Amino acid sequence: MIIFGKIFGGKVHKVDNQWIETSYLMIMAPLIPLETMFVTNSEFNRRQGFSIAMNGKSVLHGYIRFFTFIATIGLFGFSLFGRHEISHSIMYSPALYGTLFGAIYIWSRFKNTEPSLEEIIQRKAIGAITGLNALPEWLPVAVKNQQEENLKKLIEEKFNSEDIKSIALKSFKTPEELMLIFTYLRFVITDKNKAIQYKTEYEFVLNEYAKLFAKSESQSH
């Protein structure tokens, strides 16, 4: 068990074995969040990926999970081995409070941090096209801009056209073409000005891709 050094915690937004997680300075307990990472692989207390902006949700749930886990173990231990008159009093029952802290841990670990269906749909497409399912706004600016430029060139070469607005509104596209166009537009709309400019095309392609995703999910089950 690590009592001094760096520890990772607060895993959130996991889709296809890629997620967000925060590292903390550990001195008996996690004290200071050091950095948040988008993680692509992990092994014990090592992570592969890249740094992103500090993620408040990850930081918060890292603290919640650590302290509720310790509290749950400590309270149940006291309930078993502590003073009988205290451990068996309903009002002051350590087991009761241990159950409460355990429920908070489970809520944090398994329920509250699951990505929304909309996020899953978007990241599945982005991952299929780029191999990295991080949302564009999570990426370093230089990486995001380079990815967007690469996607634009790929679309222009594939459709032999620079009119991406017209390409996006075409009704007949293969699933791969649809995911490619959606991924590009998802990168584009991170710019507020472009989001207005490409609003119609993005919503049309998102709707088409959501239907494709729902059909694929129903067939897999």
In whole angstroms, give the CA distance from residue 124 to residue 15: 8
Burial class (CB in 10 A: 0-12, 13-18, 19+), 21: buried
* Cα–chain center distance at 26: 23
Most confident of 5-19, 68-82, 89-103: 5-19
Residue at token pair 């690590």: 2
135 and 209 together in one domain: yes
Taking a C-beta distance cutoff of 8 angstroms, is the pair 61, 113 a contact? yes
89 and 22 together in one domain: yes
The length of the chain is 221
Which residues, at least 6 apart from 176, have a Cβ–Cβ distance to it below 8 Å? none
How many independent structural domains does the chain possess? 2
Verdict on whether the full-model pTM lies above 0.85 = no
The pLDDT score that the predictor gives to residue 50 is 93
The pLDDT score that the predictor gives to residue 2 is 53
Kindly give the pairing relationship between strand 18-27 and strand 4-15.
Answer: antiparallel
| Residue 131: domain span | 117-220
105 and 9 together in one domain: yes
89 and 175 together in one domain: no
> Partners of 23 in the beta sheet?
8, 35
The pLDDT score that the predictor gives to residue 173 is 77
Nearest to 98 by CA among 134, 131, 129, 72: 72
pLDDT range class, residue 161, cuts 50, 70, 90? confident
150 and 87 together in one domain: no
pLDDT in tens, 20-32: 999 999 887 777 8
pLDDT of 3 > 90? The answer is no
- Pick 39 or 173 by higher pLDDT: 39
156 and 79 together in one domain: no
* Cα–chain center distance at 66: 19
Token output for 152: 């634009």
Token output for 34: 């050091």
Kindly give the pairing relationship between strand 46-52 and strand 29-43.
Answer: antiparallel
In whole angstroms, give the CA distance from residue 34 to residue 26: 10
Cβ atoms < 10 Å from Cβ of 105: 19
* Cα–chain center distance at 67: 22
54 and 142 together in one domain: no
Q: Which of 111, 138, 167 is the last residue of a domain?
A: 111
125 and 212 together in one domain: yes
